[in-house]
Structure 1
Amino acid sequence: MKSAIAITNRSLHDQVASRIRDLIIEGTLEPGSRIDEAHLIEELGVSRTPFREALRTLAAEGLVIVRPSKGSVVRKLTRDEVFSMLEVLGNLEKLAGELACERASDEEIEALIDLHKHMMDCYRARDRMPYYKMNQDFHSRLAGLSKNETLQEMQANIQARLKRIRYIGNQKPDSWAGAVADHEEMVRALKDRDGLALGEAMANHLKKTWDRVKDSI
C-alpha cells in the first residue's frame, strides 16, 4: 500500500516540489533539519531525478539549502532575517495596494474579492492549509494588480522565503482571527478603490504578522 502522500504523476517534478514544500510549511520537515532523501523518495513514490530537481526548485525559493556531498537541509531563518523580510514586504505590499486601486480593472478587483470569500469559507471551516494557500495567492495576485513587474518579482521572492513563517502566524486561534480581520479591512478598501487605506492596511498586516510569529522563531 502506497503512502497517502505518494505522487500520482511521476513525470512532473513540480508536484514533488509542491509536496515537499507543504511538508516544510507544516513543520513536518523542521527548520534546520537534514532532508532524508531515501525516506522521502520512497514515501513520495518517485525516482531520484525528479526529487533532486524539486530540491533545486525549493533551494531557488530559499526554503532548502543544497549542500553537495553533504545532503540538503531545510533552511532555518533567524529572527533578524524574518523581521527584515517582513519589513520590506510590508512596504512592497503597501505600494502594491496603492497601485492596484489605480490600475486594476473592475473585473480583476472582483476576482480578488471572490478569492477572499473562498478564504473566509475555509476560515469558517477551520481548514487551515487551503486557507493558507489562498492567502498566499491573494497577496500574489494583489501584487500582480500593481502592474509593476519589478514589484511583483520582489514580492514573490520574499513571500517564497517566508512560507513557513506565514503559516505559523495562524497557529493560535486569536492570531488567525486577527489576520482575518486584517483581510476584511483590505477588502473594504479594495472595494472602495481607496489606495491609501489599502496600502496602510497591507503595511499594518505585515507589522502584525511579525508580532504573531516572533516568539515562534
Structure 2
Amino acid sequence: MGSMLPAPPTVADLRGAGVRPEEVFAWQPTEIVWRVHRTTGTNVLPWNSMRTFGPILRFDHHPPPRAEHPGYGVWYGASSPRGGLAEAFQSSRVIDRHRGGPYLTGLRFTRPLSLLDVSGIGEGTWATRVGGNHALDSAAHGRTQHWARTIHRAHDDLDGIVYRGRCAGSICIAITEPAADAFPALPAVSLPLSHPGLSGPIDSAAHQLGYAIT
C-alpha cells in the first residue's frame, strides 16, 4: 500500500510550497477531542502527555530507529468516542474494557490549534498540491511517518495534522510539541471503559464498527 503514496518532497521543497489558508484546519476550543488510553501496565502515559517513544503510529514524526526521542512528542485524538475506540482497538477489532485499565477521556484544548489538513477535510487539497495524495490516511506507516517527519521540519509553526481515521472515517488529529501548551488542567470527562455509563456508547460503536467487546 505504501507504493500508492509517493515519498514526500524535500523539506526545502515542502517549505517552498507553503501552506495556503484553506489548507489549515483551525481546531476550536469548543470541540471535545476523544482519546482511549491505558492506565495500567508498562509505558502508560497520562491523558495529557505526549509520547516521546517512536515512531510507531501513522503520523509519528520521531526520527528512526524506534526509541525514546526526547524533544519529539506526539498525541492522537478523535472527534468522537467511536473514532477513539476505532483507532485504539483497530489491530484486534475487539474492544477490551479491562486489560490495561483503559479510559475514555474527552478534553477541550485551551486555544485554537493550527492543523495541516492532509485529507481534504476542508476546502484545500494540500496533499495533492505538493505531490502526494490522500493515501496519507491509509498507506503503510513507514511511508506516512516519512511524510510526518518532513511536514514537522518544514512547518514547525503548525500544531500538528488533521486527517480522516482509517477505521471509523471520523476526523482525527495528531498533534506535536508546539501544541503542548494547549492542554487543559483537567479533562471534560474521563471514565474507565468498564463504567456502566459507557456501556451504551460502547455497544453502539462496536455494532457500527463490527468490533467485538470483552
TM-score where L is the length of structure 1: 0.22
Greater per-residue helix proportion = 1
Greater per-residue strand proportion = 2
